[in-house]
Amino acid sequence: MRIPRAALDSILDRARKGYPFEVCGILLGRGARVESAREVQNREEHNPRTRYVIAPEDLLRIQRQSREQALDIIGFYHSHPDHPAKPSETDRSLAAQGLSDGVFHMVVGVERGETATPTAWVFRDRLGGFEAETLEVE
């Protein structure tokens, strides 16, 4: 997955500022190249420190905007406050329930609201899970 430095910096800054809660957003682009990252509010009401929810209306709004820009939703990002920058079992379970084959996922580990470490993953139906993806910053 390739991402412009400005888009990645925006995600990392948001992950640090959102600490100790998970933040989330949508990756727009073409193929394996992110053109922009759109933040959305984490709508998780019960456990926002360890879970995130993207509301259907937010997803639809960004989907419409992406079409106007001739971009696709190619993935999602979220943070893991004080947890490793890799998909959790909850992340895997949720991705396995949807149409997720080939969808990119960026997970940002955030330590004490200071250090933010991004990783990239792609969900594969055949594995029922995630494969590590190289994250190239442009």
**Whole-prediction pTM:** 0.95
The confidence score (pLDDT) of residue 18 equals 98
What is the pLDDT, as a whole number, of residue 4? 98
The amino acid present at 44, given as its one-letter code, is: E
Beta strands at 104-111 and 115-124: parallel, antiparallel or unpaired: antiparallel
Under 8 Å between Cβ of 130 and 87: yes
The whole-number pLDDT of residue 118 equals: 98
Q: How far apart, in Å, are the Cα atoms of 21 and each of 45, 54, 79, 81, 125?
A: 11, 14, 8, 7, 29
pLDDT at residue 100, rounded to an integer: 87
| Residue matched to tokens 């990783």 | 119
Which of the residues in the chain have pLDDT under 50? none
- Residue pair 70/64 in contact by the 8 Å Cβ criterion: no
pLDDT value, residue 121 = 98
Query: What is the total count of domains within the chain?
Result: 1
CATH number of domain containing 13: 3.40.140.10
Q: Which of 22, 44, 57, 89 is catalytic?
A: 22
The pLDDT value recorded for residue 59 is 96
| Cβ-Cβ contacts under 8 Å for 134 (sequence gap 6 or more) | 1, 120
Give residue 87's Cα distance to chain centre. 10
What pLDDT, on a 0 to 100 scale, did the predictor assign at position 98? 82
- Which range of residues forms the domain containing residue 104? 2-137
Report the SS3 class of residue 65: helix
Residue 71, pLDDT score: 97
* pLDDT recorded at residue 130: 97
Q: Is 22 a catalytic residue?
A: yes
**Long-range interactions of 90-95: CB distance < 8 A, separation 24+:** 90/50, 90/51, 91/130, 92/128, 92/129, 92/130, 95/123, 95/130
